[in-house]
């Protein structure tokens, strides 16, 4: 599974989510996207990062609900599977 992680440099919440995702077994492939490098993303998301998105077949990434900041390990993996199965 490949995920997009909308982030910005210096964001401790973004770094924490990236670390928790990397610790999953199996770890999903995560592509970080710095919102400050794209004016449209910066305008849309501003300080509302981290945001997880799932690439779709039609090319339009689907935004997932906000990940609870303390969710980790097996509970994070279960949450992620639930969110993906709803799409």
What are the boundaries of each domain within the chain?
A: 2-86
User: Cβ-count burial of 59 within 10 angstroms (0-12 exposed, 13-18 middle, 19+ buried)?
Assistant: exposed
Closest by CA to 8, choosing from 20, 38, 68, 23, is 38
Residues 47-73: pLDDT tens digits? 999 999 998 888 889 999 999 989 999
pTM: 0.91
pLDDT at residue 87 above 90? no
The CATH architecture to which 2-86 belongs is 3-Layer(aba) Sandwich (3.40)
pLDDT band for position 30 (50/70/90)?
very high
């Amino acid at each position: 599974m490949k995920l997009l992680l909308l982030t910005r440099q210096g964001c401790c919440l973004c770094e924490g989510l990236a670390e928790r995702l990397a610790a999953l077994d199996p770890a999903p492939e995560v592509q970080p996207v710095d919102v400050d490098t794209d004016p449209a993303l910066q305008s849309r998301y501003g300080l509302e990062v981290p945001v997880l998105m799932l690439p779709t077949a039609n090319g339009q990434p689907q935004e997932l609900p906000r990940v609870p900041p303390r969710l980790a390990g097996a509970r994070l993996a279960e949450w992620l599977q639930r969110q993906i199965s709803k799409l």
